[in-house]
Amino acid sequence: MLARLDPAEYVLPVFVGIGAALVGLLAGESPKFAVAASLAVAFMLLAVVSLSAGVVAFALITYLELAPSIGGPALSFSKVAGGVLALSFIAAYAWKDDKDDVVWAKFPFLASVIAALIAWHLASYFWAEQPGETAPSIVRIILNSALLVIFFEAVRDTRTFRAVLGAMVAGATMAAVYGIIATPNASEFAYSSTAGSGLGRLAGTVGDPNELASLLVVGLVLAGALAATSKGAQRAIWTGAAVLCGGAMFLTGSRGGLVALTAVFIVAIIVTPRRRALVISVVMIAAVSATMYYTTIASQDAQDRITLSDGGTGRTDIWRIGWRMFEDKPIQGVGANNFQIASIHYLLAEPGAILNDIYVVDQPAVAHNTYLHVLAELGVVGFGLFMLALGILIGYLVRAIRIFKRLKNREMELLVTGLVLSLVGLLAADLFLSEQYSKQLWILLALAPALYAMAQRDDARASVGEPATGTS
């Protein structure tokens, strides 16, 4: 009988060989493709050696949408890295002893809901006005759902969890610093037609001030959680990152960012009774800082953007179009990724006049509201599945917090609470963004089953007097 081979003896050399050959071929065609391929090979080495290290690196890479980039947002390095990470997981699963220790076996109801959501995306191909345009959304929901599987396997202890959160804070900080120093004209890469790039707003590496603002709120909250569970120099570093993310968020001039930050503060006051005085102090400092910035430092354009009502720079018209889509096709919607295509048909519908048709005729825009966008494209069925998935995953995090609190694991209790608050901020910002396929959103959600399983393992060990695995 043949002995079982160590995958490191042949899988890694095969991956490296294929990657090296790819780099060689691309170098003769396009240097920028060769550079991106080289980075992909480096990431491949890291992900194959350690899936945990791979997910940490991936969490950082997702913030660097434009640095570097091969071919713009349609084919960014983060997408290449995601594909490599998926292949690395498949290789790891092939040699996994316990094939039942996977997310779909541990959480079958969640797996069923996600499978139904994917199936509904696929089904929308048959009623969409342009069926071929559904492909990008179908691919993205499949890849994002795969993160649930990958992160469940990779995040098994507190150290890895902290590393993922730290990578997201580092990514947000780098995006902010890049925007402050380079101040690039990223309007051509912006996913939002209403980004307002002409106002000189901070766009960072993600190319959209509004999207950057939501990610900076996430960075601020996670940095705060890491600071609260660190000591000495590490606490100072995380505190500095939180201050930088907060300051850069003001520079984006994003009203959605301010709404997200407000939502975080309100929920934080409610769910952290033992630290309520500290949270209120932070809220007061943030409020005073924002007031001083917008009244004494910000340009008049930036002040007007925050203080004056202008129909959301076209958003209210887009929202009216989206609601008309839902009213016309409430069950199935207009089809995945068909919002911009179908919007022209609802321009002249009654009642209610559209004040500005530029984002329907000249520059067809997305809904700029995640929930309305899902409702318009996938109807009540798809919207219900999407919201159910969100509810289940956030519910896992709440249960994990309760378990860690009962086990007196203060570090994990605070970190997971910070994760929930970052989701609150991101989901609040999504009232003004179509980010249902955001990689950062799905990374945060993908941590939920892993953390709940970690809490369950620690609870089971504590019941028999064994040390917790969550602090290994």
Taking residues 390-404, report their average pLDDT.
97
pLDDT tens string 53-64 = 889 989 988 887
DSSP string for residues in 179-203: HHHH----TTT-S-TT--GGG----
Give pLDDT tens digits for 258-286: 899 999 999 999 888 777 787 788 778 87
CA 285 to each of CA 215, 246, 247, 259, 426: distance values in angstroms, whole numbers, following the listed order: 20, 11, 12, 16, 21
- The answer for residues whose C-beta is within 8 angstroms of residue 45's C-beta and 6 or more apart is 12, 15, 16
**114-155 pLDDT per residue, tens:** 999 999 999 999 999 999 999 999 999 999 999 999 999 999
Domain boundaries, the chain: 1-99, 101-266+304-472
- How does pLDDT run across 252-261, given as a tens digit for each residue? 878 888 899 9
The beta-carbon contacts of 103-108 under 8 Å, at least 24 apart in sequence, are 103/148, 103/149, 103/152, 103/449, 104/149, 106/152, 106/449, 106/453, 107/396, 107/449
pLDDT on residue 462:
86
Q: Calculate the alpha carbon distances from 124 to 143, 331, 435 in Å.
A: 18, 11, 19
* Predicted pLDDT of residue 113: 98
**Cα(311)–Cα(430) distance, rounded to whole angstroms?**
17
pLDDT at 361 over 90: no
pLDDT at 181 exceeding the cut of 90: no
Express each pLDDT in 409-450 by its tens digit.
999 999 999 999 999 999 999 999 999 999 999 999 999 999
Per-residue pLDDT reduced to its tens digit, 373-392: 999 999 999 999 999 999 99
Are 428 and 259 spatial neighbours (Cβ–Cβ below 8 Å)? yes
Residue 253 to residue 294: CA distance in whole angstroms: 9
Q: Which residues contact 202 (CB under 8 A, 6 or more apart)?
A: 176, 179, 180, 183, 209, 212, 248, 251, 252, 253
Which amino acid is located at 178 in the chain?
A: Y
Q: Is the pLDDT of residue 187 over 60?
A: no
Q: How far apart are CA 176 and CA 39, in angstroms?
A: 22
Q: What is the rounded average pLDDT of the residues 64-80?
A: 54
Distance CA 466, CA 153 (A): 22
